[in-house]
Structure 1
């Protein structure tokens, strides 16, 4: 088993190499996620409605 002290030194060294995003980058990325989630939800709502209308028309249900 490796030496725990050496392991934690290596962890610290690797952690120091991590480049964290700036606040601005984080906000922009978060906004993009929300926008694309809204676009996807509207798209699937429209597809669902079209399929519902098509199935209702084909099966003649609800008349």
Structure 2
């Protein structure tokens, strides 16, 4: 960005429920988020609202 190197870390839980207890740790210090779902699996699209709610609950309000 503007001639500077930008470091990006992508953390992927693959939507697995066993990681829900620690997702707040993923959001801590984040400056951005990318929600991805599988267009061939309706359930992943249906989960987007919950993921957004969790993001809003645990991430900085500026994200």
Q: Which band: TM-score by shorter chain?
A: under 0.3
TM-score, length-scaled by structure 2: 0.28
Alignment TM-score, normalising by the size of structure 1: 0.28
User: Which gives a bigger RCO, structure 1 or 2 (Cα 8 Å, sep 6+)?
Assistant: 2
Q: Which structure would you say has the larger Rg?
A: 1
